Structure 1
Amino acid sequence: MYLIGLIAFLISLPILGIAGAWLQLDAAAIDALCQQMQTVLPGYLATSAWLALFVTLGVIVVGAATAATIALFEFRGKRFFSWALLLPMAMPAYVCAYAYTDFLQYGGVLQSSLRALWPGFRFDVRSLAGAVFLFIFTLYPYAYLLARNALGERGVHLMEAARLLGTPLSARIRRVALPLARPALMAGAALALMETLADYGVSAYFGLTTFTTGIYKAWMVMDDRIAAAQYASLLLLFVAVLLWLERREQQRMRFATVRGHRGDGAEARLPVLLGAREGLAWLVCAAPVVLGFVLPVLILLQLMWRESELSMATNFARYAGWTWNSFRFGGLAAAMAVVLALALGFAQRTAGLPRFRSALLRFVARLASMGYALPGSVIAVGILLPMAWLQAAFPGSSAGVWLTATALGVIYAYLVRFTAVAVQSVEAGYTRIPLSMDEAARTMGASRSRIVYKVHMPLLWRSLATGALMVFVDVVKELPATLLLRPFNTDTLAVIAHNLARDERLGEAALPALSIVLVGLIPVMLVTRALNKQ
């Protein structure tokens, strides 16, 4: 019981810290807020709103087109594209931004060639349109994966029924497939939108005035903690609304698919695409893969090769330190997240709980799942703000020293954000272990700890390993929380790639950026393997 209460307090502390900032509004703070509403706040709101709108529309269009092509048609290369379309999940948007900035710069080969054909042509990738482009082609897999599963479960069968009734292909897609996939597309778009609002790397590198960059500037540049907390609270409100919408669409998606039969799609034949239609299917599937993964990787490899002629030996010496910091933080956070997830999962599994404790467990589980939706910058401000209050209230206290610019503070932020990943994996593993095994162990006199060690862990090792791996990958890619909380002179792969790219040293940033992409391929391979098993 005490452990569950401690987990609830630790996870909710950043949220409580941000909410507490509104309780400290005095005349000076209100005046500062009014000035912000007249100056920078409208810009933050407008940029974030336009970014959210266009990214949502783009993710829905690309996700729907690719999911319908893979799930509802048969063509050569379909098996390859079915997993290749997931590859952009391994490409963080800020890494993609570094690659395209070099490729699409004004004096680059592409723009120079286009100006030779159309004098006066100019395109600046470091703009709102460029950011929308990057987010669409790195985040569409969320919508693609969910919509593909939804269409695969019932779409094929219903499309076949519509064909037998004489409905044309275009009408079948418009009136059957798209309405069936709508809840999945909306849920995927909500996930992509949460990633967009949580991003710091692309917005900071492109010079966009979003809420995330505003939080960083208010805290680190202006030294205005109240303003940073206010921006974080507004961003938190947006994320909470998106999280509610995503859960509602997930429930509607489950309602739409539970009543189907597993064998429905297997009995229906998929339309075979030939000729021009097959070429169109190839174009629909190949374009997102090339733009979201293949081209950025090739650009980064070219940058790294160009840098190798200058100072690759020096880079490799520094690269070892960056890699060690990333792996050290990732390993510690993954191990601790798995332990917390195992404790929470076993507590939820315990039979005969009192009503209050059962409600508390459900609340903590919901709180832990919300942590993954919180942007890293919001979590960092939520941690730093209570520490600042403690330092102000108790000048001689060293309480804030433990979490400010220390490895402990970074690990704590990672746990608040990524414990949900481990919890989901452990809960999925527990559903495959019957309660009768626990009862049998108790009748033989086994204690609770012995049941976990001797019975559950041998059966949960795949779920524990998967959860630890997913947390590790997310930690390696995390940027804003690491920037705000990392110890001095301790750079990770994500931080150093951002700093080098910010200084226009893209050749040196290519190696750590490619390393992040390589680590990000791990969950893509796991998802592909799971889909192949299905």
Structure 2
Amino acid sequence: MILGLSRSWSVAGFCASALLVMPLLALLLEALTPDDAVFGHLMATVLPSYIRNSVLLIFWVSIGALLLALPCAWLMARCEFALRRYLQWALLLPLAMPGYIVAYVYTDLLDYAGPVQRALRAVFGWDSPQDYVFPDIRTLGGAACMLALVLFPYIYLLARTAFVEQSLHLAQASRIMGCSPWQSFWRLSLPMARPALAVGVALVAMETAADFATVSYFAVPTLTTAVYDTWLGYGNLTAAAKLSAIILLVVFLLIGIERFERRKQQLFQKPTAHQPQDLYRLSPMQTLLALGFCGAVLCFAFVLPFGILLSYAVKYFAQSWDARFWQLSVNSLSLALLTSAICLGLALLFMFVRRISPRASDALPSRLASLGYALPGTVLAIGVLIPLTWLDFGLNHLADWLGFKGPGLFFTGSVVALIFAFCVRFVAIAIGSVESSYKRISPSLDRVSVTLGQRPRQLLTRVHLPLLAKGLFAGALLVFIESMKELPAALLLRPIGFENLATFAFQYVSDEKLEYGALAAIVIVLVGLVPLIYLNRSLEQQR
């Protein structure tokens, strides 16, 4: 820590964090305003069903993701069989698939006019829907299945890590005592991995609570769709803010559960790397079953949707590859690059002040700024609209008072609102990456630099930045990818006539014409694969 830190660095950190936390505070203030007719009408009519659907969706997605992730995580961590090395990273790929894309693909496959039901009618001679019973995918259960397919890797990754890091001596003791692999899993590994599983389930639940596109496509009314409809349908910001506050309550409850469970994690034995001879060797029949289950999960969650998407993109390439596609790509790229640069600069400011300041209060800005990541996209959009609307009105009133022509909707009517929202949501990712990199830099380097007469700015540019380069790149990459994929905030905050790849693809999904937006969706998926490859390489280097 450096006692000679200029107060201006701390002030800059607090001002930046205040700006980033402003949407959350504005949202809460707006939600506390007196009740209005729209929200009262919603409470009396549809709000209970919205809440019930949201709770049921979170429950079933969590259960489904857990059932998919647990067997895969155990097999990858504690068993030895053919193709295991490739499957253990391939099972992360579904995270790159947007849920609404998977929902469209399976709706197209399983609807009455889809190839599956057509084939069944041809084989069994059925003539009408009254001749057979086939589950309807456009239901809450169907939405839960789609979300579970794309979200289970959150639990899989954490569970696999927990199983790998469990002490080898305990596993050997269970073998000596005659436990079968199933008994060892049920009595030993699963109870020890419970905190990690709770964290994974909480993450899945938060992503489910934040989902808008999938439930909107399936016409399942939840709190997120209610926020969207209340703002665009009724134009009522206060009612939308009140609904957003309910979602926030659910999200922060889930975060509290996750933090509570993480506090229980204590490591009493140093984990040892599992060598092939330490793993359970599966018999040929068991290997076949393991490959069948893991392969089926990977196929249904990624390979099949991606293959169909790729076929659409190839078939309709001529109609998609045009000047508009290039403009969409430029819009997405520009937004993502600007957001990455701003988030990286803010994260560097927060963590530099936190590292070299002797004041405990200077750790507060980074923590406040990280709150935005917990905001679902629709909630974030409403939170951003409120203060930016105030600013727009204030600027126009000031211009009128001074006798000038007002700037109009300078903030809410331009990409400024989008960039601000993306920064509020994703700066936490950059902060986490920079913080992790700072932990690898010895504090003795700071003391040596001060002894040699380096000022804080020189310490940052000459010492820290070269050592932080890898972490900065990783943080920028992750923010870039998330900005490319973000949909709900983009739908609510985009200026009139502005589209990016995410909103373009979703528009075609909503119109049942994904084939024309398949190329844009392919780009989003391929870009989303980059951090997964990076994550896998990092995990392999730690083994």
Short-chain TM bin: over 0.9
Where does the alignment leave 5 or more consecutive residues of structure 2 unmatched?
1-9, 399-405
97-106 or 505-514, which moves further after superposition? 97-106
Distance 2:350 2:396 in 1: 36
Q: 2:490 aligns with which of 479, 482, 486?
A: 482
Q: 2:25 aligns with which of 2, 11, 16?
A: 16
**Equivalent residue number for residue 51 of structure 1:** 57
Displacement, 1:395? 6.2
| Farther-moved stretch of structure 1 (58-67 vs 48-57) | 58-67
| Equivalent of 1:125 in 120, 132, 137 | 137
1:88 equivalent to 2:94? Answer yes
Q: Hey, what's the Cα distance between the residues in 2 that align with 1:302 and 1:351?
A: 55
Cα deviation for residue 410 of structure 1 reads 0.6
Q: Tell me by how many angstroms 1:182 deviates.
A: 1.3
Residues 274-316 of structure 1: per-residue CA shift (max 9 Å, x gap): 22111111122112211111010111122223324xxx25543
- Distance apart, 1:226 and its partner CA: 1.2
* 1:161 pairs with one of 173, 176, 179: 173
Tell me the residue number matched to 2:461.
Answer: 453
Structure 1 residues 434 and 281: CA distance shift in structure 2, 3 A: same
Structure 1 residues 313 and 209, CA gap change in structure 2 (3 angstroms): closer
Q: How does 1:341-360 map to 2 (within 5 A)?
A: 341-353=347-359, 358-359=360-361
Choose which of 295, 313, 330 in structure 1 pairs with 2:336.
330
One of 430, 437, 440 as aligned partner of 1:432: 440
Shift of 1:175: 0.6
Q: Deviations over 1:418-438 (max 9, x none)?
A: 000000000000001011111
Residue 390 of structure 1 and its aligned partner are, at CA, apart by: 5.3
- Distance apart, 1:172 and its partner CA: 1.3
Partner of 2:217: 205
**Larger CA deviation: 465-474 vs 294-303:** 294-303
Q: Trace 1:343-382 onto structure 2 (pairs within 5 A).
A: 343-353=349-359, 358-359=360-361, 361-382=362-383
Using a 3 Å threshold, how does the CA distance of structure 1 residues 48 and 3 change in structure 2: closer, same or farther? same
The equivalent residue for 1:60 is 66
Deviation, structure 1 residue 392? 6.3
Q: CA RMSD in A?
A: 1.9
What residue number does 1:263 align with? 272
Aligned to 1:299: 308
State the alpha-carbon separation in 2 of the partners of residues 509 and 70 from structure 1: 36
- 1:112 corresponds in structure 2 to 118
1:242-301: CA deviations, max 9, x gaps?
Answer: 111122223323x1xx32223364497111002211111112211221111101011112
Displacement of 1:142 in angstroms is 0.6
SS in 1 for 2:430: helix
- Which of these residues, 105, 109, 120, is aligned with residue 103 of structure 1? 109
Residue 376 of structure 1 contacts residue 481 of structure 1 at CA under 8 Å; is this kept in 2? Answer: yes
User: Using the alignment, how far apart are the partners of 1:140 and 1:400 within structure 2?
Assistant: 45
Q: CA deviation at 1:501?
A: 1.4
1:394/1:344 CA distance change after superposition, 3 Å: closer
Query: Aligned-pair distance for 1:184?
Result: 1.0
Greater shift in the superposed pair: 512-521 or 112-121:
112-121
Measure, in 2, the Cα distance between the counterparts of 1:274 and 1:126.
40
**C-alpha displacement of 1:415:** 0.6
Task: Give the drift of 1:377.
Answer: 1.0
Q: Does 1:284 find its partner at 2:293? A: yes
Separation (CA, whole Å) in 2 of partners of 1:82 and 1:142:
13
Residue by residue over 1:354-384, the C-alpha shift from the partner in whole angstroms, topping out at 9 and shown as x without a partner, is: xxxx23x333222222211210111110111
CA distance in 1, matches of 2:44, 2:296: 42
Partner Cα separation in structure 1 for residue 481 and residue 332 of structure 2: 10
Distance 1:281 1:75 in 2: 8
After superposing the two structures, state which structure 1 stretch, 212-221 or 387-396, moved more: 387-396
How far has the Cα of 1:400 moved from its partner? 7.8
Q: In the aligned structure 2, how far is the partner of 1:468 from the partner of 1:440?
A: 29
SS where residue 372 of structure 1 aligns?
Answer: helix
Give the match's secondary structure for 2:68.
Answer: helix
- 2:478 is aligned to 470
What letter matches 1:95 in structure 2?
I
Distance (whole Å) between structure 1 residues aligned to residue 280 and residue 310 of structure 2: 39
- 2:392 and 2:411 in contact (8 A); partners too: no
2:205 maps to 1:193: yes
Give the 5 Å matches for 1:130-149. Answer: 130-149=142-161
Counterpart contact for 2:313–2:522, Cα < 8 Å = no
Counterpart residue type for residue 12 of structure 1 = V
Match of 2:80 among 74, 84, 100: 74
Partner SS state of residue 195, structure 1 = helix
| 1:499 corresponds to which of 500, 507, 525 | 507
Q: Is the 8 A contact 1:387 1:399 kept in 2?
A: no
The C-alpha deviation readout for 1:148-187, integer Å capped at 9, x for no partner, is 1111011544222111112233221111111111111110
Say whether 1:3 aligns with 2:9: no
- Structure 1 residues 391, 464: closer, same or farther in 2, change over 3 A? closer
Counterpart for residue 403 of structure 2:
none
CA contact (8 A) 1:155 1:177 kept: no
Asked if 1 retains the 8 angstrom alpha-carbon contact of 2:77 and 2:163, the reply is yes
TM-score, reference length from structure 1:
0.93
Cα distance 1:23–1:299, how it changes in 2: closer, same or farther (>3 A)?
A: same
Q: Which runs of 4+ in 1 moved over 6 A?
A: 392-395
- 1:38 corresponds to: 44
8 Å contact from structure 1 (residues 493, 516) kept in 2 = yes
* CA 225–528 in structure 1, closer or farther in 2 if over 3 Å, else same: same
